Amino acid sequence: MDKNQLKKSDYSYFEHRCNNGRKLMVFLHGFPDNPYIWLHQWRHFKSNYSLLAPYAPGTCSDDKYDNRDLGLDRYCEIVYQQIQSLPFDKREEIILVAHDLGGAVLGELQRRLPEVKHAILINTLTFEQFLKRSNRPLQWMKSFYMVLFQIPWLNEKNLQMIYPYLRKLAEKLGRPFDSEISPMLDYLTLRNLEFYRRLAREIPAKWSRPTTKVPVRALFIWGEQDPFLLPPVKNEIDFLFETYEYFPLLNAGHWVFVTDFHKCNARIDKFLGEAI
């Protein structure tokens, strides 16, 4: 990922065009990361896939977003427009790759884009999955921070005041301080804090929404030591995806695709190779 691949607009994104393939891979990052978190995947897949990695609203300091752009539906619309604007005339299929909050976006996009054939979920959940596990008390205990971030006075300015403590806490919870990614990844930046809050507030509104299966093959890659999310279980996946595979990494955590990127990339290669 370099500056030549960064497309500056009201909503910035990284783009790579591959002449060897007709498949587009879209990377959806979580909170409080940015597209650079996908660096190891970008390097690995760029030879055979065209790539797109959008900034979530509020993450890129130069973006000209406003509050109406912070909801899930609006963000999906922005990514949808970015995909449709790409000059891939012979694009045959789209592969969505998501981590953390990116799963909520993935779940919406795969309904809007018939070209989506494969979904790769890395320690993330769609909205439907999260609601399905609402009767699991341990998940609510792990997700206590969702309530914490709703506190109005807990804004970016105040959080930056306790930055040293937050950095140590993030490191303890497994956030990778990769020697290559760290200089490019503005750690614990909270420009997209309001976007995160909006997504959490949308959960009740989507509670009663009917769910239908999507004709998408899914691969779940899961760091089993995730301090934030319980591993997915069969009953919350069966009702959502036609077919799926589950690949656990027992000693890995929430950012498994950074800490164990060789294993993750190899498993994605195998998964996509089986589809050919």
Rounded CA separation 60/183 (Å)? 15
**Predicted structure pTM score:** 0.88
pLDDT digits (tens, 9 = 90+) for 151-202: 777 766 777 777 677 777 777 777 776 666 665 555 445 566 777 777 777 7
Strands (E), the chain: 6-7, 13-16, 23-28, 50-54, 93-100, 116-124, 214-223, 241-249
What is the 3-state secondary structure of 97-138? EEEECHHHHHHHHHHHCCCEEEEEEEEECCHHHHHHCCCCHH
Amino acid at 241: F
CB-count exposure of residue 86 (10 Å: 0-12, 13-18, 19+): middle
Q: What is the pLDDT of residue 95?
A: 95
**Structural contact between residues 193 and 145, judged by C-beta atoms closer than 8 angstroms:** no
CATH of the domain at 109: 3.40.50.1820
- 189: helix, coil or strand? coil
Q: How many domains does the chain have?
A: 1
Read off the pLDDT of residues 220-261 as tens digits, 9 standing for 90 and up: 999 999 988 888 888 788 888 889 999 999 999 999 999 999
> How many Cα atoms sit within 13 Å of 64 on the Cβ side?
3
Containing domain of residue 10, as a range?
Answer: 3-274
